[in-house]
Protein backbone atom coordinates (compact mmCIF):
# COMPACT_ATOMS: atom_id res chain seq x y z
CA UNK A 1 0.00 0.00 0.00
CA UNK A 2 1.27 3.46 -0.89
CA UNK A 3 2.34 5.35 2.24
CA UNK A 4 0.69 8.60 1.17
CA UNK A 5 -2.71 6.97 0.72
CA UNK A 6 -2.25 5.05 3.90
CA UNK A 7 -1.76 8.32 5.72
CA UNK A 8 -5.01 9.77 4.33
CA UNK A 9 -6.92 6.79 5.67
CA UNK A 10 -5.28 7.00 9.07
CA UNK A 11 -5.99 10.75 9.26
CA UNK A 12 -9.68 10.32 8.42
CA UNK A 13 -9.94 7.44 10.86
CA UNK A 14 -8.33 9.43 13.68
CA UNK A 15 -10.07 12.72 12.92
CA UNK A 16 -13.25 11.81 11.09
CA UNK A 17 -15.13 14.54 9.23
CA UNK A 18 -18.90 14.87 9.81
CA UNK A 19 -18.82 12.57 12.83
CA UNK A 20 -21.88 12.41 15.06
CA UNK A 21 -25.64 12.27 14.72
CA UNK A 22 -28.34 14.74 13.67
CA UNK A 23 -31.40 15.54 15.73
CA UNK A 24 -34.59 14.41 13.97
CA UNK A 25 -32.86 13.59 10.67
CA UNK A 26 -34.94 13.20 7.50
CA UNK A 27 -32.86 10.16 6.64
CA UNK A 28 -31.18 7.82 9.09
CA UNK A 29 -29.88 4.43 8.14
CA UNK A 30 -27.40 1.93 9.52
CA UNK A 31 -25.65 -0.98 7.85
CA UNK A 32 -23.43 -3.72 9.19
CA UNK A 33 -20.61 -5.60 7.52
CA UNK A 34 -20.47 -9.04 9.14
CA UNK A 35 -17.23 -9.96 7.36
CA UNK A 36 -15.28 -7.42 9.38
CA UNK A 37 -17.70 -6.31 12.12
CA UNK A 38 -17.96 -2.75 10.77
CA UNK A 39 -20.98 -0.59 11.47
CA UNK A 40 -21.92 2.72 9.85
CA UNK A 41 -24.95 4.91 10.52
CA UNK A 42 -25.59 7.95 8.35
CA UNK A 43 -28.02 10.77 9.19
CA UNK A 44 -29.07 13.43 6.69
CA UNK A 45 -31.13 16.59 6.48
CA UNK A 46 -32.85 17.03 3.13
CA UNK A 47 -34.28 20.36 1.99
CA UNK A 48 -35.74 20.71 -1.52
CA UNK A 49 -33.95 17.51 -2.55
CA UNK A 50 -30.56 18.85 -1.41
CA UNK A 51 -28.59 17.08 1.30
CA UNK A 52 -27.91 20.09 3.48
CA UNK A 53 -26.22 18.25 6.33
CA UNK A 54 -24.86 14.78 6.83
CA UNK A 55 -23.26 12.99 9.80
CA UNK A 56 -22.05 9.51 10.40
CA UNK A 57 -21.41 7.36 13.38
CA UNK A 58 -19.75 4.00 13.32
CA UNK A 59 -17.12 1.62 14.48
CA UNK A 60 -14.92 -0.89 12.79
CA UNK A 61 -11.75 -0.98 10.76
CA UNK A 62 -9.92 2.12 9.57
CA UNK A 63 -11.01 1.69 5.95
CA UNK A 64 -14.73 1.49 6.76
CA UNK A 65 -14.60 4.58 8.96
CA UNK A 66 -12.28 6.61 6.72
CA UNK A 67 -14.56 5.78 3.81
CA UNK A 68 -17.58 7.15 5.69
CA UNK A 69 -15.63 10.31 6.55
CA UNK A 70 -14.61 10.91 2.93
CA UNK A 71 -18.00 9.98 1.50
CA UNK A 72 -19.90 12.35 3.79
CA UNK A 73 -17.51 15.18 2.80
CA UNK A 74 -18.25 14.44 -0.83
CA UNK A 75 -22.03 14.11 -0.52
CA UNK A 76 -22.75 17.15 1.66
CA UNK A 77 -24.53 19.80 -0.43
CA UNK A 78 -25.33 17.46 -3.28
CA UNK A 79 -28.82 16.73 -4.57
CA UNK A 80 -30.44 13.36 -3.93
CA UNK A 81 -30.07 12.57 -7.64
CA UNK A 82 -26.35 13.36 -7.56
CA UNK A 83 -25.90 11.25 -4.45
CA UNK A 84 -27.81 8.39 -6.09
CA UNK A 85 -25.47 8.37 -9.07
CA UNK A 86 -22.30 8.62 -6.99
CA UNK A 87 -20.77 5.25 -7.78
CA UNK A 88 -18.49 2.81 -6.07
CA UNK A 89 -15.62 3.51 -8.48
CA UNK A 90 -15.75 7.17 -7.52
CA UNK A 91 -15.64 6.27 -3.84
CA UNK A 92 -12.78 3.82 -4.31
CA UNK A 93 -10.92 6.54 -6.23
CA UNK A 94 -11.43 8.93 -3.32
CA UNK A 95 -10.10 6.40 -0.85
CA UNK A 96 -7.22 5.96 -3.24
CA UNK A 97 -5.94 2.53 -2.44
CA UNK A 98 -6.07 -0.36 -4.88
CA UNK A 99 -8.67 -2.73 -3.50
CA UNK A 100 -9.54 -4.63 -6.68
CA UNK A 101 -7.89 -7.79 -5.51
CA UNK A 102 -9.19 -7.69 -2.00
CA UNK A 103 -12.94 -8.35 -1.83
CA UNK A 104 -13.03 -8.24 1.98
CA UNK A 105 -11.51 -4.74 2.05
CA UNK A 106 -13.87 -3.64 -0.70
CA UNK A 107 -16.82 -4.59 1.53
CA UNK A 108 -15.30 -2.40 4.24
CA UNK A 109 -14.79 0.50 1.84
CA UNK A 110 -18.27 0.28 0.33
CA UNK A 111 -20.22 -0.08 3.58
CA UNK A 112 -20.72 3.69 3.87
CA UNK A 113 -21.93 3.93 0.28
CA UNK A 114 -24.43 1.13 0.83
CA UNK A 115 -25.66 2.87 3.99
CA UNK A 116 -26.05 6.15 2.09
CA UNK A 117 -27.89 4.62 -0.84
CA UNK A 118 -30.28 2.40 1.11
CA UNK A 119 -31.11 5.47 3.23
CA UNK A 120 -31.72 7.66 0.17
CA UNK A 121 -33.77 5.07 -1.71
CA UNK A 122 -35.90 4.41 1.36
CA UNK A 123 -36.51 8.16 1.74
CA UNK A 124 -37.40 8.54 -1.95
CA UNK A 125 -39.78 5.59 -1.70
CA UNK A 126 -41.49 7.10 1.31
CA UNK A 127 -41.87 10.47 -0.41
CA UNK A 128 -43.08 9.23 -3.77
CA UNK A 129 -45.99 11.37 -4.99
CA UNK A 130 -48.96 9.87 -6.76
CA UNK A 131 -47.85 11.68 -9.95
CA UNK A 132 -44.54 9.83 -9.87
CA UNK A 133 -46.15 6.38 -9.80
ZN1 LIG B 1 -13.67 -3.48 7.82
Q: What total number of domains does the chain contain?
A: 1
In this predicted structure, the answer to whether residue 101 has a pLDDT above a threshold of 80 is no
In a domain, 26, yes or no: yes
Which of 51, 53, 52, 62 lies closest to 16, judged by CA? 62
Q: How confident is the model at residue 4 (pLDDT cuts 50, 70, 90)?
A: low
C-alpha 38 to ligand 1 mean position (Å): 5
In a domain, 132, yes or no: no
In this predicted structure, the answer to whether residue 1 has a pLDDT above a threshold of 70 is no
Q: How confident is the model at residue 6 (pLDDT cuts 50, 70, 90)?
A: confident
Domain CATH code at residue 55: 3.90.1010.10
In a domain, 133, yes or no: no
In this predicted structure, the answer to whether residue 30 has a pLDDT above a threshold of 60 is yes
C-alpha 132 to ligand 1 mean position (Å): 38
In a domain, 89, yes or no: yes
Strand partners, 56: 19, 42
40 contacts 29 by C-beta, under 8 angstroms: no
In a domain, 130, yes or no: no
Which of 112, 41, 54, 52 lies closest to 79, judged by CA? 52
In a domain, 60, yes or no: yes
CB atoms < 10 A from the CB of 26, how many? 17
In this predicted structure, the answer to whether residue 26 has a pLDDT above a threshold of 60 is yes
C-alpha 107 to ligand 1 mean position (Å): 7
C-alpha 57 to ligand 1 mean position (Å): 14
Over the stretch 39-73, which tens digit does the pLDDT of each residue have? 999 999 999 999 999 999 999 999 999 999 999 99
Give the per-residue pLDDT at 18.
98
Range of the structural domain that residue 26 is part of: 3-125
66 contacts 86 by C-beta, under 8 angstroms: no
Give the per-residue pLDDT at 130.
85
Q: How confident is the model at residue 2 (pLDDT cuts 50, 70, 90)?
A: low
C-alpha 62 to ligand 1 mean position (Å): 7
In this predicted structure, the answer to whether residue 3 has a pLDDT above a threshold of 80 is no
In a domain, 102, yes or no: yes
C-alpha 40 to ligand 1 mean position (Å): 11
C-alpha 102 to ligand 1 mean position (Å): 12
20-41 average pLDDT score: 97
C-alpha 23 to ligand 1 mean position (Å): 27
Amino acid sequence: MDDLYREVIIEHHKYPHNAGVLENPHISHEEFNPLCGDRVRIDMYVESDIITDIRFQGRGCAISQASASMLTDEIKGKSLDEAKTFGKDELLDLIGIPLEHNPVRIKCALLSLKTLKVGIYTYIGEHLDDEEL
